[in-house]
Structure 1
Amino acid sequence: MAKYPVVVYGASGYTGMLTMDWLIDQNIPFTAVARNAKRAQEMMAQRVVRLESATYEIIEADHTVEALTHAFKGAKVVCNTVGPFVHFGLTTVEAALKAGCHHLDTTGEQGYMRQVREQFGELYAQAGLVVSPSLSYMYTYAEIAAELALEHPGIDALETSTLCRGPRGGAAGVTVGSTASIFELFRSEQCYLWEKKLVPHAMGTSFNIASPDFLSPVFALPWGGTSLPVYFENDPRVRSCVSCVGFYDNDVMKMVHAVGQKWESEYKFLPPEQQDAVIQQLVQSTTPTMPPRERTTITRMVDTAIGRGQLSAVRATVHGTTAYIATGALQTAAAIKLIDGDTNKVGFVSGSKAFGHRYLLGFLEERGLARATVTQL
């Protein structure tokens, strides 16, 4: 049973430890929950900044609804970083609900998000609780940009791009968990929003983003469709939303695209256990170990939303730095609101709708993690 208001589940993982960094910075006591308490303590001692000044405990728990419910009881908020969420997420969502906790996580996997909405959205709303997937750099920055565009009257169609640079210019620096989630997307339907309905992208869809932030076009992919079409599906302001993701290194993105095409031609109809083996091999070959902490001189991002109406158009851009560090900040910004019982909506809801996109943007701006610009087109 948790003694403190915030639970970080996935305590020995990269994103979980960065979330703890920010909770400590904001003087928020937390309970770290992990499958192996000894390993979690060792990893935290190596990686969590200012751990010596933190008020915290570590609880060991198996990944079952019963065990996690017992571990979460007594807390107000669960920050869940254990993925791939399509495999592990629903167990944690159910446990948080049974423990009477709000649930935040960091993924934009569309299949998982739609399951959360359909199976738990109304139950969380009835309990007066928030369940908010994808509260992370990817795709909250793009959602903030979209909300800034929607502030302008008449905007009802959105196109968003999430463009990132890591070490060596490409996707290096992505965590083991994120890599597993990326390759899991090959097994899932990838949708965009068109005329208020989710529509699957055509097989092999790609984009060439001619952004004013770069000299050359950036090769981008649907990246599972992103969380935005799901969140805007029932938003009366929005008729369509098409989103994509690209790394500055076009060769890296084209490699991922080629793997996706190979999946369609060779792996799609394999039994699930054989597909699991393929994904495990892909993860091990591309991300064998946990990456080092991000550097602001290397890890940079540009998230853009172009909003259009019948005669109006606007471009909103959020420039950012250190995507994973920013994710920890966003989790903490939301936890602060939830500890105080300050939320605009309950149930299945995005971070921007639950806490306000201006609040989240301000939290990031004050800490040097983002800046936004809006231009009429």
Structure 2
Amino acid sequence: MAKHPVVVYGASGYTGMLIMDALIDQNIPFTAISRSAERTREMMAQRVVRLESATYEIIECDHSVESLTRAFAGAKVVCNTVGPFINFGLTTVEASLKAGCHYLDTTGEQGFIRQARDQFGDLYRQVGLVLAPSTAYMYTFAEIAAELALETPGVDALETASLARGPRGVGAGVTVGSTASIFELFRQEQCYLWEKKLVPHSAAASFNLVTPEIAQPVFGLPWGGTSLPVFFENDARVRSCISAVGFYDNDVMKLVHSVGQKWDTEYKHMGKAEQDAVINHLVQSTTPAMPPRERTTIQRTVDFAIGRGQLAAVRATVHGVTPYLSTGVLQAAAAMKLIDNETHKVGFASAGKAFGHRYLLGFLEQRGLARATVTQL
């Protein structure tokens, strides 16, 4: 049973430790939960900033609804980082509900998000709890941009892009968990929103993304469709939403695209065990170890939304740095609202709809992690 208001599940991982950093900064006591208390204690001592000033406990727990429900009981908020979420997420969502906790996570895996919404969204709403997946740099920054664009009257169509720069090379600067989730996207349907319906992208879909901050076009991919078409699917303001992701290293993005096409032709019809082996090999060959802590001189991001109506046209851009650090801060910002019972919506909701996109943007701006501009076109 948790002694503190916030649970960080997956506490021994890279993102989990950054969430704990941000909670400590806000003086929020937390319970760190993972499969190995020993490894969590060791990694926290190495990686978590200001740990000596924190109020926390460490609980060891296996990944089952029953065990997690017991571990979460007593808390108000669960911050889940254990992925790939399509494989492990629903167990944590169910356990959070049974323990009476609000649920946050860091994934943009569209397939999981749709399952969580369809299976648990109404159940969370009925008991006044928030189910807010994808509370993270990707895709909350893009959602903030989209919501800023939607402030222009008449806008009903969105095109969004998330562009990030980090160390060059396959897997550089990306966590093991993120890499596993990326490759899991190959066997999931990836959709965009068109005329208020989710429509599958083709297996070969790609984008040439142009933005004034970058001299050359960025090669982008649907990246599983992203969470945004799902979040806007039932939004009365929005008829269409197409989202893309690109990294400044076009060679890496083209390699990921080629692996996706190879999956469609060679691996798609394999059994799950054989597909699992392929994914495990891809993860191990691209992300052998936990990356170092991010630097603002290297990790920089541009997220933008172009909003169109019959005559209206607007571009909203969020410039940012250190996306993993920003993810930790966003989780802390959301946890603060949930601890104080200050939410705009209960049940299934995006971070922007649950906590307010202006609140989240302001929280990031105050910490030097983001700034936004809006230009009428």
**Same fold, judged at TM 0.5 (above):** yes
CA–CA distance in structure 1, aligned partners of residues 171 and 64 of structure 2: 33
Match of 2:207 in 1: 207
Residue range with higher mean Cα deviation, 208-217 or 117-126:
208-217
Give the AA of the match of 1:53: S
Q: How does 1:357-372 map to 2 (within 5 A)?
A: 357-372=357-372
- What is the TM-score of this pair, normalised by structure 2? 0.99
Percent identity reads 77
The answer to whether structure 1 residue 243 and structure 2 residue 274 are counterparts is no
Match of 1:92 in 2: 92
Match of 1:176 in 2: 176
Note if contact 1:171-1:249 (Cα within 8 Å) is conserved in structure 2.
no
Match of 1:109 in 2: 109
The answer to whether structure 1 residue 338 and structure 2 residue 338 are counterparts is yes
Root mean square deviation, CA, Å: 0.7
Q: How does 1:179-258 map to 2 (within 5 A)?
A: 179-258=179-258
Note if contact 2:219-2:253 (Cα within 8 Å) is conserved in structure 1.
yes
Unpaired runs of 5+ residues, structure 1, are none
- What is the TM-score of this pair, normalised by structure 1? 0.99
Note if contact 2:220-2:245 (Cα within 8 Å) is conserved in structure 1.
yes
Match of 1:42 in 2: 42
CA–CA distance in structure 2, aligned partners of residues 162 and 138 of structure 1: 7
What does the per-residue CA deviation read over 1:158-198, in whole Å, with 9 as the maximum and x for residues that have no partner?
Answer: 00000001113775100000000000000000100000000
Match of 2:74 in 1: 74
CA–CA distance in structure 2, aligned partners of residues 279 and 27 of structure 1: 39
Deviation at 1:253, TM superposition (A): 0.3
What does the per-residue CA deviation read over 1:320-354, in whole Å, with 9 as the maximum and x for residues that have no partner?
Answer: 00000000000000000000000000000000000
Match of 2:23 in 1: 23
Unpaired runs of 5+ residues, structure 2, are none
Q: How does 1:245-324 map to 2 (within 5 A)?
A: 245-324=245-324
Give the AA of the match of 2:63: H
Note if contact 2:171-2:287 (Cα within 8 Å) is conserved in structure 1.
no
CA–CA distance in structure 2, aligned partners of residues 248 and 171 of structure 1: 13
CA–CA distance in structure 2, aligned partners of residues 374 and 313 of structure 1: 11
CA–CA distance in structure 2, aligned partners of residues 302 and 3 of structure 1: 39
When residues 74 and 173 of structure 1 are mapped into structure 2, their CA distance, relative to the original with a 3 A threshold, is same
Give the AA of the match of 2:197: K
Residue range with higher mean Cα deviation, 167-176 or 234-243:
167-176
Deviation at 1:278, TM superposition (A): 0.2
Q: How does 1:145-156 map to 2 (within 5 A)?
A: 145-156=145-156
Give the AA of the match of 2:236: P
Match of 1:163 in 2: 163
Deviation at 1:302, TM superposition (A): 0.1
SS in 1 for 2:311: coil
CA–CA distance in structure 2, aligned partners of residues 135 and 228 of structure 1: 12
What does the per-residue CA deviation read over 1:132-173, in whole Å, with 9 as the maximum and x for residues that have no partner?
Answer: 000000000000000000001000000000000111377510
Note if contact 2:169-2:252 (Cα within 8 Å) is conserved in structure 1.
no
CA–CA distance in structure 2, aligned partners of residues 256 and 99 of structure 1: 39
SS in 2 for 1:168: coil
CA–CA distance in structure 2, aligned partners of residues 322 and 276 of structure 1: 31
Match of 2:354 in 1: 354
CA–CA distance in structure 1, aligned partners of residues 6 and 126 of structure 2: 21
Note if contact 1:10-1:82 (Cα within 8 Å) is conserved in structure 2.
yes
Note if contact 2:155-2:313 (Cα within 8 Å) is conserved in structure 1.
yes
SS in 2 for 1:167: coil
Note if contact 2:307-2:314 (Cα within 8 Å) is conserved in structure 1.
yes
SS in 1 for 2:168: helix
Note if contact 1:294-1:325 (Cα within 8 Å) is conserved in structure 2.
yes
CA–CA distance in structure 2, aligned partners of residues 107 and 48 of structure 1: 21
SS in 2 for 1:305: strand
Give the AA of the match of 2:282: L
Give the AA of the match of 2:161: S
Match of 1:137 in 2: 137
CA–CA distance in structure 2, aligned partners of residues 116 and 306 of structure 1: 28
Give the AA of the match of 1:32: A
CA–CA distance in structure 2, aligned partners of residues 219 and 298 of structure 1: 19
Segments ≥4 residues shifted beyond 2 Å? 168-171
CA–CA distance in structure 2, aligned partners of residues 168 and 209 of structure 1: 19
